[in-house]
Amino acid sequence: MLFSLFDRLWTPTAIYLILSLPIYLLRHVANSTLAYGLLLAWTAYYAQVVITSINFERAIDALGKRAPTKRTWSPYNLGTLFGAVWYFQRHRMHEWWWTLFGQHGNKSLPYTIESIIMGGRMIFTADEENIKAILATQFADYGKGPQFRVEWKDFLGLSIFTTDGDRWHQSRTLLRPQFIKDRVSDLHTFEKHTQVLIRLLAGSHDGATVRADDLLYRFTLDAATDFLLGKSVNSLENGQTEFAQAFADVQNTQSYIARLGPVRGLIPKKKFHAGLKVINRFVGAYIDRALQLPQEELEKITKSDEGYTFLHALASYTRDREVLRDQLVAVLLAGRDTTAVTLSWLIYELSKAPQIVDKLRQEIISTVGLEQQPTYENLKNMRYLQHTLNEILRLYPVVPYNVRVALKDTTLPHGGGPNGDEPIGILKDTPIGYSTLILQRRSDIYPSQASGFPDYLTFVPERWDSWTPKSWTYIPFNGGK
């Protein structure tokens, strides 16, 4: 408790002492009563900060133990925050997380630490038991929290990705049925855009260099808008359309808003707000057309494979324009990014492994042939293809870092005690950052190489022929309820 209390108070104490001196000296050049009054008020404020901090620390102790602490000795521990931003800007966040656990974690179970940032406590974890608690066994104790909604509301509104409790359950009830139906039309949609993608990946001439990641993001945007709205933006063929550029601008700014926390007000938002107007205008036009259809026609379209769109399906359940907008943008964001990132890493790894490409090609030709479009049954039967995708998601999970907030006073099962295997106390509103990327790259969750298991950091789809991950150590799409 004493060390944590020191972390909370040393910066406020320094500020108190620095500002108290000029206030005290003011008595020589101004009304001494005024000077003493100011000093008394300043001291009362500082005393309130001290008392509040002591109460916080006592409440944590009453709930459980504490995890090892990261300190930078910078004012309000801002060094930790700015360090994270520095690594993020250089696309090296994994190094920052490994440093957290490697330098500050418990030697026995190093994958949970805490830090006091801007006077507030934050937990970082890549421990499977803690992640399991957050996403499943203590699901009701954790959620996005009100601060997350403030940060994301302009972009994602009150969608499934920003809400908790009853609102989250309502969103899940609305969306879930749309993702458990095997529709032939969906395959036609993806096939159409895949053919354009393959042509562009081949380049304009032999030996041409192409930006695969850019093409893949445009491909998933085209396929997603086609599936969701019934009309693609066709950014692969038309280049970076206004909508595609606006979506990219909003996403880029939003990533900083989410990471800079208390100093997010310093972020320039001109492009962000301009991009939101484009997104809302674009999506809004489709929503307006869908809402003009009678309920009977919406239900007929939804039950048919012909003319089905995600928007029509949602509009048959609710005619709330704001709900439709928020859920569409949220699903568009998730569908675009997760698929594009996974395909990017897949191409990267396959480019280094021609023997894997040969095996995949043989399986695809023997199952589907060279002229046919794959069916859902074909996709389910291609075991090596499934293992290849599993391996990509093991090394590169689609959401490598995430955060939840305690919705009430609670605990996490690991992080405390001399061995790191005792529960830690978590006060309401405490944010917990967790990383599936770090979790899935921990050496201790895999069999040893001496047993014949391939190096866990290498891309080897064959490992899935005879290996099953331990519970909650492979969760590329998160898990739980």
Q: Is 184 a residue whose pLDDT tops 60?
A: no
Closest-CA residue to 68 (of 108, 130, 112): 112
Closest-CA residue to 64 (of 434, 403, 414): 414
What pLDDT, on the 0 to 100 scale, is given for residue 222?
Answer: 94
What pLDDT, on the 0 to 100 scale, is given for residue 303?
Answer: 74
Cα dihedral 11, 13, 19, 24 in deg (nearest 10): -170
Report, as an integer, the average pLDDT of 280-304: 87
Contact residues for 10 (Cβ-Cβ < 8 A; gap 6+): none
Model confidence over 49-75: pLDDT tens digits? Answer: 999 999 999 999 999 999 999 887 888
Report, as an integer, the average pLDDT of 355-362: 98
Report, as an integer, the average pLDDT of 373-382: 92
Report, as an integer, the average pLDDT of 277-306: 87
Q: Where are the domains of the chain?
A: 1-63, 68-148+382-481, 171-352
Closest-CA residue to 339 (of 225, 439, 438): 225
Q: How confident is the model at residue 181 (pLDDT cuts 50, 70, 90)?
A: low
What pLDDT, on the 0 to 100 scale, is given for residue 258?
Answer: 83
Q: Are 447 and 463 in contact (CB under 8 A)?
A: no
What pLDDT, on the 0 to 100 scale, is given for residue 186?
Answer: 78
* Residue 412 backbone dihedrals phi, psi, to 5 degrees: -125, 145
For all residues of the chain together, what is the average pLDDT? 90
Decide which of 35 and 336 is more confident. 336
Decide which of 177 and 168 is more confident. 168
C-alpha to C-alpha distance for 164 and 158, rounded to whole angstroms: 10
Decide which of 107 and 72 is more confident. 107
The two structure tokens encoding residue 344? 């990017």
Q: Is 119 a residue whose pLDDT tops 90?
A: no
What pLDDT, on the 0 to 100 scale, is given for residue 264?
Answer: 75
What pLDDT, on the 0 to 100 scale, is given for residue 1?
Answer: 66
Report, as an integer, the average pLDDT of 390-398: 97
Q: Is the dihedral of CA 200, 202, 203, 209 positive or negative?
A: positive
Model confidence over 11-34: pLDDT tens digits? Answer: 989 898 888 887 767 666 666 777
Q: Give me the sheet containing 401-406, strands edge to edge.
A: 112-117, 120-125, 431-435, 401-406, 142-143
Model confidence over 185-198: pLDDT tens digits? Answer: 578 889 999 999 99
Q: Are 373 and 187 in contact (CB under 8 A)?
A: yes
Determine what percent of the chain is predicted with pLDDT higher than 90.
65
Report, as an integer, the average pLDDT of 416-437: 95
Model confidence over 227-266: pLDDT tens digits? Answer: 889 889 999 998 777 998 999 899 989 988 887 766 677 7
Q: How confident is the model at residue 103 (pLDDT cuts 50, 70, 90)?
A: very high
Q: Is 10 a residue whose pLDDT tops 70?
A: yes
Q: Are 229 and 283 in contact (CB under 8 A)?
A: yes
Q: How confident is the model at residue 383 (pLDDT cuts 50, 70, 90)?
A: very high
What pLDDT, on the 0 to 100 scale, is given for residue 347?
Answer: 96
CA 260 to chain CA mean position, Å: 15
The two structure tokens encoding residue 49? 């900060």
Report, as an integer, the average pLDDT of 274-279: 96
Q: Are 424 and 438 in contact (CB under 8 A)?
A: no
What pLDDT, on the 0 to 100 scale, is given for residue 230?
Answer: 86
Decide which of 367 and 6 is more confident. 367
Model confidence over 442-476: pLDDT tens digits? Answer: 999 999 999 999 999 999 999 999 999 999 999 99
Report, as an integer, the average pLDDT of 102-109: 92
Homologous superfamily (CATH) of 171-352 is: Cytochrome P450 (1.10.630.10)
